[in-house]
């Protein structure tokens, strides 16, 4: 079992994204609708990253997923101390998301993490479990090695053709959990980070932009629940996060197949690595709180949001044209239109941590105004209101926080007005992000 130096006390703060409150009712309604659909109805066409059959409470708690797996060994000399890679053998479903995992202070992968390699891969992930250059490496050094492992996995490994380089994640235990935090702080393009009893001695999570799950053991005297709660509170309100405290668990809970942890890891990974909203039902709210003494999260979890700070154009699936501010004007109240995509600044949107879609170097925000049926979408000075908060969903729809209506158009030709309408899932309401 890994050990860490004695942690210092931290003072928890308190924060919560206001945009979540506006989205809760809409997401709940979606959940009710989803529960009436027959099993097997979820379509991979709606989400090209979806892997595996429709999940059940039993399937996420299973000792194996549905994918056959294999492994390969990696030597040293790649920026980390050596590794094992575990991967699905199926080549018919496209590339898989990947996760790099690092053990805790003084621990080895074989002793602490190897149990999870084939198990995680069987759920449709490529996994690289690493040893560190020194067993005494601290959190930042472990984060550096996690990033090196992901770079090796996607660029030079023998399984690189199986890995989607745009769907990567990190996880660690103890000092390795601090390493996962460090990696996520430095690489905000990661899809998620999971810290299990994480020790983050030299970092502050105030700038975290990667969705983060933090797990603590109720009886952990090394990295106490209050310390992990403090990390959770540091994460900004606009970043997805979850805190779970495992009843009666000590510091070593991630070093063996702990079913309380594993049946929460899988839905979290599926939501954020595979953008698979079929797994929302297990976490929002917790479907099974057996073995959980405390929990907090930013439900509803919104995996399709672009990473805050990303800049992109929105191209309509039906038209192939982009959401455009006509003439490049910056006048408040100017209605948005469809126009042939050209990548100029009047078609470039930036997602803020609060969920706004900003334009012109953050000078203006996309605004649904009154948000009524068929209401024109405009630009306006950013004011933090719900009509200026948007969720870019995994299925390509863009929903407004004030009304739950979808970004839509009145046609497919140049100059067609951009509006909001009741969500139907039609091609006029699906959008592709173009970098």
Quick check: helix, strand or coil at residue 330? coil
- Let me know: does 385 contact 356? Beta carbons within 8 Å: no
How many Cα neighbours within 13 Å face the side chain of 291?
15
> Could you tell me the maximum CA-CA distance found in the chain, to the nearest angstrom?
64
Rounded to an integer, what distance in angstroms lies between the CA atom of residue 181 and that of residue 171? 8
Q: Give me the phi and psi of 20, to 5 degrees please.
A: -60, -40
Rounded to an integer, what distance in angstroms lies between the CA atom of residue 427 and that of residue 151? 36
Rounded to an integer, what distance in angstroms lies between the CA atom of residue 244 and that of residue 292? 7
> Angle CA(161)–CA(166)–CA(171) in degrees, nearest 5?
95
Q: What is the 3-state secondary structure (H, E, C) of 367-379?
A: ECCCCCCCCECEE
> Angle CA(21)–CA(55)–CA(217) in degrees, nearest 5?
65
Query: How many CB atoms are located within 10 Å of the residue 334 CB?
Result: 18
Rounded to an integer, what distance in angstroms lies between the CA atom of residue 428 and that of residue 369? 20
| Proportion of the chain in helix, strand, coil states, percent, rounded to 5 | 25, 25, 50
> Angle CA(204)–CA(99)–CA(53) in degrees, nearest 5?
125
Rounded to an integer, what distance in angstroms lies between the CA atom of residue 309 and that of residue 189? 10
For the annotated catalytic residues, the residue numbers are 174, 220, 251
CB-based contacts of 371: which residues, under 8 Å, 6+ apart?
A: 387, 400, 402, 403, 405, 420
Phi-psi domain of 158 (left: phi exceeds 0; alpha: psi -120 through 50; beta: other): alpha
Q: Identify the DSSP state of 336.
A: P
Query: How many CB atoms are located within 10 Å of the residue 301 CB?
Result: 22
Taking the CA atoms of 113, 118, 122 and 127 in sequence, report the sign of the dihedral they define: positive
């Amino acid at each position: 079992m890994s050990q860490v130096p004695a942690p210092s006390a931290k003072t928890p703060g308190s924060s919560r994204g206001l945009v979540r409150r506006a989205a809760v009712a809409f997401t709940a309604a979606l959940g009710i609708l989803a529960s009436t659909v027959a099993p097997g109805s979820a379509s991979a066409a709606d989400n090209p990253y979806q892997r595996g059959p429709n999940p059940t409470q039993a399937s996420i708690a299973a000792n194996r997923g549905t994918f056959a797996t294999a492994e390969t060994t990696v030597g040293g000399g790649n920026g980390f101390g050596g590794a094992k890679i575990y991967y699905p053998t199926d080549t018919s479903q496209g590339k898989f998301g990947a996760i790099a995992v690092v053990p805790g202070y003084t621990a080895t992968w074989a002793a602490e993490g190897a149990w999870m390699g084939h198990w995680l891969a069987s759920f449709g992930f490529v996994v690289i479990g690493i040893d560190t250059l020194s067993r005494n490496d601290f959190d930042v050094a472990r984060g550096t090695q996690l990033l090196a492992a992901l770079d090796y996995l996607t660029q030079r490994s023998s399984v690189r053709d199986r890995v989607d380089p745009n769907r990567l994640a990190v996880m660690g235990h103890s000092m390795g959990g601090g390493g996962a935090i460090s990696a996520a702080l430095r690489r905000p393009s990661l899809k998620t980070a999971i810290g299990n009893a994480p020790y983050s001695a030299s970092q502050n999570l105030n700038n975290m932009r990667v969705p983060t799950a933090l797990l603590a053991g109720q009886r952990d005297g090394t990295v106490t629940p209050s310390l992990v709660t403090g990390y959770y509170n540091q994460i900004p309100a606009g970043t997805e996060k979850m805190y779970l405290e495992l009843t009666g668990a000590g510091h070593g809970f991630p070093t063996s197949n702990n079913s309380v942890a594993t049946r929460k890891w899988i839905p979290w990974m599926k939501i954020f690595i595979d953008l698979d909203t079929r797994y929302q039902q297990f976490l929002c709210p917790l479907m099974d709180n057996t073995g959980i003494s405390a929990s907090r999260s930013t439900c509803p979890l919104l995996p399709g949001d672009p990473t805050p700070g990303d800049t992109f154009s929105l191209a309509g699936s039906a038209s192939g044209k982009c959401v455009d501010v006509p003439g490049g004007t910056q006048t408040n109240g100017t209605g948005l239109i469809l126009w042939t995509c050209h990548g100029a600044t009047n078609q470039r949107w930036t997602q803020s941590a609060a969920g706004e879609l900003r334009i012109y170097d953050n000078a203006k925000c996309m605004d649904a105004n009154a948000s009524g049926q068929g209401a024109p979408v405009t630009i306006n000075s950013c004011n933090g209101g719900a009509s200026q908060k948007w969720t870019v969903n995994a299925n390509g729809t863009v929903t407004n926080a004030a009304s739950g209506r979808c970004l839509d158009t009145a046609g497919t030709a140049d100059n067609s007005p951009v509006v909001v309408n009741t969500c139907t899932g039609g091609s006029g309401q699906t959008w592709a992000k173009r970098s």
